[in-house]
Amino acid sequence: MPGYRAPRRSMQPRAAPRGPRDLTHPSARGTRPSVARDEARAAGEGDEAEEIRRFYRERFLPQNAWWPILPHAYLCQRQRQRRIRQSLQEIGVASFEDLRALRVLEVGCGGGSNLAWLVEMGADPTGLVGVDLVPERIEQARQRCAGVRFLAGNILETDVGGPFDVVMLFAVLTSVTNAETKQKIMEKCLSLLRPGGALLFYDLMTRREDPGTPNYKKLTYAEFEGYLGGRRPRYFKRDYLRRDVAERIVPLPRVGLFAAEVLQAIGWFNIEATFAHVRA
């Protein structure tokens, strides 16, 4: 036919037809993208946990900045205890029997001071659990408070039991800079609550996005509320007196602590350190 050119035939031999693949063999199976992503994500979370552990061991703990003997640390401890007590009352803990029956988990329990204080108030130590990334802190906690179950590990990987009436999460999320990991921690904490239980939360907050550092990043209120799945928190905003003001006033003879707490209650010199509780 005029103008028609026959197609050129390839000289390459035709491949033999494929038989069924042996999917039990790793070389045939390959790595599914979802599995690869999960493995990479798990490795990333492990690296992040190790980085947090290293930061606390090498930089945070040697400074001893939060020992209650220090004026600002003591003032913060008293305010935190005041808010824990107030939150427990607001969620219905009204008697010694209620307190004795509480099952409480603290994530990031450190040396166990908050759980030890609950025991001093009357909580049953066998109903309390603390978990922390830093094994040395867990050893301190065990020496401080016999009867409480203390676990060294990552909350995302550690079997802490449950469910609990209260989960406490104090000054943890600012040490986690990855938003996906923060979401998982919050979901885990909320999932460990029994119906009607409460998450007690404290951390440094900001109203606008803060770039932070590789080891520390404040939360915005919008970010925190986004982790709650539609639950509405009860806030105590700007709840802590500025460190430099506290260190001047608290050591004053006789009236220093009282004056600092009055000034803190007024809020003129407070920082965006916020306590909140959220019902399950």
Has residue 197 been placed in a domain? yes
Has residue 8 been placed in a domain? no
Has residue 110 been placed in a domain? yes
Which distant-in-sequence residues (6+ apart) come within 8 Å of 170 by Cβ? 80, 106, 108, 114, 200, 201, 202, 203
The CA-CA-CA angle for residues 161, 163, 165, to 5°, reads 125
- Give the model's pLDDT for residue 25: 40
Q: Which residues of the chain have pLDDT under 50?
A: 1-40, 42-43
Q: 214-221: long-range contacts (C-beta < 8 A, 24 or more apart)?
A: 214/177, 215/51, 215/52, 215/55, 215/59, 215/175, 215/177, 216/174, 216/175, 216/177, 217/174, 217/177, 218/174, 218/272, 219/173, 219/174, 219/182, 221/274
CA atoms within 13 A on the CB side of 28: 8
Has residue 213 been placed in a domain? yes
Q: Domain containing 123: what range?
A: 43-279
Q: How many structural domains comprise the chain?
A: 1
pTM tops 0.85: no
In tens, the pLDDT along 199-243 reads 999 999 999 888 888 788 899 999 999 999 999 999 999 999 999
User: DSSP letters of 186-201?
Assistant: HHHHHHTEEEEEEEEE
Has residue 176 been placed in a domain? yes
Has residue 37 been placed in a domain? no
**Domain containing 56 — which CATH number?**
3.40.50.150
- Give the model's pLDDT for residue 67: 73
Residues paired with 202 in a beta bridge: 170, 275
Has residue 2 been placed in a domain? no
Q: For helices 71-90 and 256-266, give the axis angle rounded to 10 degrees.
A: 60
Has residue 23 been placed in a domain? no
Which of 206, 212, 189, 55 has its CA nearest to residue 129?
189
- Give the model's pLDDT for residue 66: 63
- Give the model's pLDDT for residue 57: 65
Which distant-in-sequence residues (6+ apart) come within 8 Å of 176 by Cβ? 48, 52, 182, 185
Which distant-in-sequence residues (6+ apart) come within 8 Å of 147 by Cβ? 119, 125, 126, 128
